[in-house]
Structure 1
Amino acid sequence: MTKRVVHFGIIGCGLMGREFASAVSRWCHLLDVNYIPVITAVCDVNLDATTWFTDHLASIEQVTDNYRELLDNKRVEAVYCAIPHHLHEQYYLDIIRAEKHLLGEKPFGIDKQANQAIQQAIVEHPHVLVRCSSELPFYPGALKVYDFVKEGLVGKVIDVEAGFWHSSDLNPLKPINWKRKVSTNGAYGCMGDLGLHTLHLPLRLGWKPRLLSASLSNLVEERPDHTGQAVPCETWDNATLLCEVDSGQHTFPMVLSMKRIAPGHANTWFIRINGMLGSIEYSTQNPKQLKIMRYTAGGRQVWGTEDIEYHSAYTAITGNIFEFGFSDSILQMWSAFCDELVNGADMIQPFYCATPDEAAYSHELFTAVLDDVQNRISTRS
């Protein structure tokens, strides 16, 4: 099969930039796709961060600390941009205006105003494909949840709970980073960092939650800086949102939680949907297990657990008996982005990456959360 080559530039050569590069190196893992990404250019303000890429990728032709030089590169067709939230607006605007296809990191702007500027640029450049990175719904179990609901097996929805928890920040001695500062992370705190992952699948199912109330926590108020001196942590550690969804026929409650501090968890993404006909639950904490209950009137209410085979959105060389993992979900997400870029509406499979509209809705919801919390603080004082 002849494969269409898509030349990529990477802006931001940190953890997620390396994950993308690793996914590209594993492209032979995928079967029956008619496209292949090639990383042609890399950019980071810290040139030392680019060394890993030049050490491992022979395809790189350009290394720069100026992202505008990368955008001037005629060979670069698409860009993966993984940078702190306060830089999203300017960088994403410049990438889109340069007519480069973009897969950007969430939350697509440090706040609602920045997101609206990015949205306007997308409208002005309709031929540029813009998507948001959110790999967790590409786990086979998550896709099974999506199919279960779309096939009408839930019936009337009773309630939904979704969340993304990790415990890497439980240690109060962990040094402060940019996600702890409002100037770089934004006032959303953990919601900006984890929220779109939590919302991706509910929004794709057509459920737009309306906020009823929220609880935000700043559990570790100080952390050591690079000198060891304690400095303030300005952003929210944990957020729990009580929401309501109007399905058109009825309303149902939805609880959304995003936690940087969740004892015993290490990047656990989960969704639980209860319905009058069927209920389903999946968590990456047990990535091979899917819990399902199918109910008929007057019948028994019994949860069953099935082992999930390695059956991914895009066919891979891995046998069904093996286990799907995070690096596989990254590869699948990148395949979806390239698939849509190359094949448009005729994608090989239908589940596409998170959209700018989905990111924009997350901004609407998180802005409402901040307003709700601020109103309660004002009322108390």
Structure 2
Amino acid sequence: MMRVIRFGIIGCGLMGREFASAAARWMHLTDMKARPEIVAVCDTNAALMDWYSDHLPSVAQKTADYRELLANPEIAAIYCAVPHVLHADMYPEIIASGKALLGEKPFGMDRAQNATIMAALKEGPGQLVRCSSEMPFYPGAQRVIDFIKSGALGDILEVECAFLHSSDINPDKVINWKRMVDVNGAYGCMGDLGMHVCHVPLRMGWRPKTVNANLVKRVTTRPDGKGGRVPCETWDNATITGMVGEGPDAFPLVLKTWRIAPGESNTWSIRVLGMRGSAEFSTKNPRQWRFMRYEPGGAQAWQVEDLGYQSLFPAITGGIFEFGFADAIQQMWAAFVDELVGGDANGFHCATPDEAAAHHAILTAALISGVEGRVTEVEYPQ
């Protein structure tokens, strides 16, 4: 009989609903050792919690106090999806409770807050803790990752990873917490999107020693939803160029986190270029990945392969059909649940706290670089 892992959700907004949807259709996956069951939810907005109890008969507890979830012995694991400014308060308490945690990125509003979380982990009971980052679970992204691991790139020329939004190009979009420095943090777009673009490079061991960041702020005020306008304080776009490695083997790593990318709905992409092979994938074309294998003096020809639904964790969907964002969310959760019961996440686990801490080091250096206009050394945690 499949093991049941009882979850509580802290923060019942968009991503919490995505987890609830993934859990409700767990039968979509095959050969799983365990399944999540959402039994408790927490939010200061009661209307948001009502959606869960209306749709999930398993929800037995609704509360505005997250500590009540931590005191509930029925709950084995927590998904925490709250604004960045709350991470440093909530994550350490969740860790101290002994419950497993999948926390939303960026694991702290800034590097100091992330250090508080990392200290709690060091002192904690040692349960599974991971950071949310779903985009690398697309089949095409997994193919690029496997291509890299195989050594097919040869000497690397350049790596680029990007996450592009377009909704903030509308200057009349009502401000939300992601546009407020005191809630989102001074990183701006980098804090919101940085884990997405750093996840794969860090997993591959590509840690830039220095970065040069170009930060863009185009929309300086936004409607407050009450008839007035208020300052829009955060950076809209960031293009970070780092150098990985030393001497003649060093290569540029380009990380783009843009909230104003004309025409882009929600595009994540990765491109790796090497002397012997290259590969790329974009969620704009979710069925396909492109790759090239090159022999000295030979033809340089890109190949395009249709992948369909070839997921890390097998599912009932036929291989000829499309894979989408909701599937990536479920695959990420499958990886987390598999680790919870002793599995290896089929070879690709969710982002780790150490990776989240390393990405804070990169973003901190990028913020200094962009503000001060200079190349900045990245100081990784010891």
TM score, norm. by length of structure 1? 0.96
Gaps of 5+ in 2: 375-382
Q: Quote the offset at 1:155 in angstroms.
A: 1.1
Give CA deviations for 1:231-288 in whole Å, capped at 9, x if unaligned. 1100001000111111798211111110001011111000100011100010000111
Q: Quote the offset at 1:228 in angstroms.
A: 2.3
Aligned residues: 374
C-alpha separation in 2, matches of 1:190 and 1:101: 28
Letter in 1 for 2:259: R
Q: Quote the offset at 1:373 in angstroms.
A: 2.7
Counterpart position of 2:112? 113
C-alpha separation in 1, matches of 2:27 and 2:205: 34
Counterpart position of 2:370? 373
Q: Which moved more, 1:287-296 or 1:244-253?
A: 244-253
**1:26 corresponds to 2:29:** no
Q: Quote the offset at 1:211 in angstroms.
A: 3.1
C-alpha separation in 2, matches of 1:186 and 1:215: 18
Alignment of 1:155-170 (within 5 A): 155-170=154-169
Counterpart position of 2:212? 213
C-alpha separation in 2, matches of 1:348 and 1:137: 13
Secondary structure of the residue that 1:280 maps to in structure 2? strand
Give CA deviations for 1:150-195 in whole Å, capped at 9, x if unaligned. 0111111111111100101111111000011110000000000000
Counterpart position of 2:6? 7
Q: Quote the offset at 1:210 in angstroms.
A: 2.8
Counterpart position of 2:330? 331
User: Equivalent pairs: percent with the same residue?
Assistant: 56
Secondary structure of the residue that 2:296 maps to in structure 1? coil
Letter in 2 for 1:287: P
Q: Quote the offset at 1:354 in angstroms.
A: 0.4
**1:355 corresponds to 2:365:** no
Secondary structure of the residue that 2:341 maps to in structure 1? helix
Counterpart position of 1:268? 267
Counterpart position of 2:299? 300
Letter in 2 for 1:375: E
Kept after mapping to 1: 8 A contact 2:334/2:345? no
Kept after mapping to 2: 8 A contact 1:190/1:236? yes
Q: Quote the offset at 1:289 in angstroms.
A: 1.4
Kept after mapping to 1: 8 A contact 2:78/2:99? yes
Alignment of 1:152-191 (within 5 A): 152-191=151-190
C-alpha separation in 2, matches of 1:268 and 1:348: 25
Flag the 1:105–1:319 CA change in 2: closer, same or farther, 3 A: same
C-alpha separation in 1, matches of 2:144 and 2:116: 34
Q: Quote the offset at 1:128 in angstroms.
A: 1.3
Gaps of 5+ in 1: none
Give CA deviations for 1:335-357 in whole Å, capped at 9, x if unaligned. 000101111xx425110000001
Kept after mapping to 2: 8 A contact 1:207/1:247? no
C-alpha separation in 2, matches of 1:218 and 1:79: 35
Counterpart position of 1:310? 309
Q: Which moved more, 1:206-215 or 1:65-74?
A: 206-215
Letter in 1 for 2:354: D
C-alpha separation in 1, matches of 2:161 and 2:106: 18
Kept after mapping to 1: 8 A contact 2:10/2:41? yes
Secondary structure of the residue that 1:169 maps to in structure 2? helix
Q: Which moved more, 1:106-115 or 1:347-356?
A: 347-356
C-alpha separation in 2, matches of 1:207 and 1:126: 30
TM score, norm. by length of structure 2? 0.96
C-alpha separation in 1, matches of 2:321 and 2:154: 32
Flag the 1:355–1:249 CA change in 2: closer, same or farther, 3 A: farther
C-alpha separation in 1, matches of 2:203 and 2:33: 26
Counterpart position of 2:51? 52
C-alpha separation in 1, matches of 2:20 and 2:247: 43
Counterpart position of 1:256? 255
C-alpha separation in 2, matches of 1:122 and 1:3: 29
Kept after mapping to 1: 8 A contact 2:156/2:274? yes
Letter in 2 for 1:217: V
Q: Which moved more, 1:245-254 or 1:194-203?
A: 245-254
